[in-house]
Structure 1
Amino acid sequence: MATEGSEGLRKAYRVRSVAAQGHLWLIEQDAGEHIGWHPDTARHRRQEALSEDAWGYGLIPIGKGGHLMMTVVEREALSELLKGTRERQARAFNRWLDSLAPEA
């Protein structure tokens, strides 16, 4: 089941997500846009820092009954990846991530 957006502490972000395997998985493209990362930067950081079970590909529903294969990243893994960053946008997004319920 895909959901869009969640209320954060001070700001709400529109990030498509999927609940699977007892975890919340965020669309990497959506998260990267809010963090301020170029798609290549997001891919490089994910491949360098995250284990293979912390990210993957998912069929995400799009308009008119279609689906699109997109990269998804587990919420807790993305939060860990963002810890210690100096980028203001990334820190704000990480605070929002940490405010989400740990289990979907």
Structure 2
Amino acid sequence: LFQTSNRAVFGVGVLLERGLIPQDALRNQIIPILFDLIESKGDDPGMEDRRVEIAAVLCRVVSSGMITDKRWLFDNFIADYSRFLEHHVVHIRKVGAR
């Protein structure tokens, strides 16, 4: 399951880079699923690394301008991403990077 999930996240990243995912699919399906994966509980090996990889994919979505609806970004994306930034894994990595 872990390898399948990692491959899926990698695949989404590749599709995003190539611009092959429509904006509606990003907003209504892909991004909510990625946030669900980030927030999922579990002790799978590498779960923290998977969360970081998902965060990187989400950052690519926002920084690339793939979603042009700024109101949607503000109302939906920012709140979920802010919740992710409160996760202990993110804090450990930020401290380690200093």
Q: Would you tell me which structure has more helix in proportion to its own residues?
A: 2
Q: Would you tell me which structure has more strand in proportion to its own residues?
A: 1
Q: Same fold (TM over 0.5)?
A: no
TM-score, L = length of structure 1: 0.30
